[in-house]
Structure 1
Amino acid sequence: MTITQLYYVLAVAENQNFTKAAEKCFVTQPTLSMQIQKLEDQLDVQIFDRTKKPIELTDVGKKIVTQARNIVNESYRIQDIVDQQKGFIGGEFKLGIIPTIMPTLLPMFLNNFIKKHPKVKLKIEELTTEEIISRINDGHLDAAIAATPLEDENIKERVLYFEPFVGYIPGNHRLHDHKKIDVSELDIDDMLLLEDGHCFRDGVINLCKAFKNQTDDQFQLESGSIETLIKLSNEGLGMTLLPYLHTLDINDKEKENLHHFNEPSPAREVSIIYHKSELKMQIIEALQDVISGVIRGAIAFQNVNIISPLPIPK
């Protein structure tokens, strides 16, 4: 049994197709098939049910894949140990970022990080929090930037910054003339929200439900992006809440609709998160250092109340 054989098994399990798996592994399909068949013969079991389309794992195959993933991931960590011992900051690093953080934070730190650490090959994906947790636990991500706390015992969190919520209130709204707004004044009935699956949406719901017993059935209008929420609000369809960094890029006319909260301002905690067994700590620390440096000049708020990004149990 070899690590290469296990790597091929994982590729087929993920792609459910021998040809696609071979392309991903940069080998010919006969070579990949032969090695997997050799492993099956050695173990005297069938890992894959080849009669199904797409190919499926057998019951014992599912257990083998779980163990194979652990073995392959641990084999990669040997190089991580060597790099960490040498203080080398380089190599491939897979980073996930949630959609409500990606467009504002990434342009702020990416160029600085690349210049400071040119030997690191960042592979960045925009993913939901649920996808991020799954991929970190599966070993498909080295780290991620997300709203916390997540209350996952397998994941460690390093706080990067606290980002306040800011009200975006159009001229026809009942709160528009208020210089500052209070959390108790929020009404979910006239609030524009992101679609289900966004942790910022869950934060807004948690904020509103802290003061009013309202149900999801009352939500009227939802969108997939913060930019669309602003446009809908401009049309007089309701107010919305924005993460503070999103307010830095809107035009001067739209800034007239921004309303800050009375202190302590509701805010989200943004952290770099990673698996508890992660060894690429020198890259994680480098990311933390660069991001903390650029964010320090952008967010000066200190008196905040952290709102949970986790959905309220139904």
Structure 2
Amino acid sequence: MTLSEFKFIVAVARERNFRRAAEKCFVSQPALSLAVKKLEEELGVTLFERGHKDVTMTPIGEQIVAQAMRALEEADRVKEIARMGNNQLAGPFKLGVIYSTGPYLLPEIIPALRKLAPEMPLEVEENLTANLETQLRNRVIDAAIIALPFDVPGVHCEPLYDESFVVAVPDIHPWAERKLIHAEELASEKVLLLNSGHCFSTQVVLACPELSKSGEVLQGNSLETIRNMVASNLGITVLPCSAAVERYQNPLIRMIPFAEPVPLRRMALAWRKGYAREQAIECLLQAIRALKSPCLQSIIAAA
């Protein structure tokens, strides 16, 4: 068994295709296929079921690939230790973040991280919560910024802040001059939300339950796409407060606060228990909690 063979089977497991896995590993497909076959023969088990369209792992293959991921991480850790010495703030940090937070929070925290840890650049993975959970458990990412609840065995969650929601309407909408909107009123409107699978959409529906009963809901691929659809007068939407601050506002859209009780979400940083770079986690927490954005004042209270 070699680390190269481990890299090959992990790539096949992720890509579910030998050709794409070979491209990811920068080797020819015959070379990768031969290496995988050699490892299967050495272990005396079949790791993958080869189909016409894709490749799936056998039950024993899933266990071996999971162990191979851990072995590769430990091997990388050896290199990391040698490179960094005792400096946990040197070397890239792989941060996962949900789609509805990344574009708005990252521009705020990266300048702070550049000062706190100039040798620790962020490798950012934007994804759905379910995918970030898998990547976190499989050690693909170091930590993730997600919305609670996020109850995953072996993962620690540190609450960061509560973020309120706001209503966005076209400037020609009858509500454009309103001061407050009650959550139940959304059921009478055409509401644009992210596609199913995005936790933010689920949170909006939970906060405005009438939407699931009588509201007309259309879906978009990103909050910025939805924002543009609102500007074109297709409907209204609900945005997290961080997406509604001045730098992101459109003159064709009006932002209106919710009446009490204001819908909100609690954001948190999640990382594996026992993760070796504790100082990197503390540095990231410090950068987020030090933000002075008016929209995220509750960070300080949550700290």
Partner Cα separation in structure 2 for residue 197 and residue 216 of structure 1: 19
Show the 5 A alignment for 1:43-192.
Answer: 43-49=43-49, 54-77=54-77, 86-171=86-171, 173-187=173-187, 189-192=189-192
SS of residue matched to 1:186? helix
Q: Residues 194-231 of structure 1, C-alpha deviation per residue, up to 9 Å, x if partnerless?
A: 2222221111111111xx3x537843422223233333
Q: Structure 1 pair 181/194, CA: closer, same or farther in 2 (3 Å)?
A: same
Q: Structure 1 pair 36/147, CA: closer, same or farther in 2 (3 Å)?
A: same
| Residue 238 (structure 1) aligned with residue 235 (structure 2) | yes
Q: Structure 1 pair 277/175, CA: closer, same or farther in 2 (3 Å)?
A: same
TM-score of the pair, normalised by structure 1: 0.78
SS of residue matched to 1:7? helix
The amino acid that maps onto 1:119 is E
Give the corresponding residue for 2:259: 262
CA RMSD of aligned residues (A): 3.5
Partner Cα separation in structure 1 for residue 53 and residue 199 of structure 2: 35
SS of residue matched to 1:125? strand
The amino acid that maps onto 1:105 is L
Give the corresponding residue for 1:307: none
Q: Residues 221-243 of structure 1, C-alpha deviation per residue, up to 9 Å, x if partnerless?
A: 22223233333333444332121
Paired positions, count: 299
Q: Structure 1 pair 193/117, CA: closer, same or farther in 2 (3 Å)?
A: same
Give the corresponding residue for 1:306: none
Residue 260 of structure 1 and its aligned partner are, at CA, apart by 1.6
Whether the 8 Å CA contact 2:190–2:215 is kept in 1: the answer is no
Residue 92 of structure 1 and its aligned partner are, at CA, apart by 2.9
Report sequence identity in percent. 33
Whether the 8 Å CA contact 1:84–1:280 is kept in 2: the answer is no
Residue 17 of structure 1 and its aligned partner are, at CA, apart by 5.0
Show the 5 A alignment for 1:274-289.
Answer: 274-289=271-286
The amino acid that maps onto 2:244 is T
Greater Cα shift, 126-135 or 39-48: 39-48
Partner Cα separation in structure 2 for residue 169 and residue 233 of structure 1: 6
Whether the 8 Å CA contact 1:147–1:269 is kept in 2: the answer is yes
Q: Structure 1 pair 75/188, CA: closer, same or farther in 2 (3 Å)?
A: farther
Whether the 8 Å CA contact 2:161–2:296 is kept in 1: the answer is no
Residue 247 of structure 1 and its aligned partner are, at CA, apart by 1.6
The amino acid that maps onto 2:241 is Y
Gaps of 5+ in 1: 304-314
SS of residue matched to 1:187? helix
Give the corresponding residue for 1:253: 251
Give the corresponding residue for 1:208: 208
Q: Structure 1 pair 191/9, CA: closer, same or farther in 2 (3 Å)?
A: closer
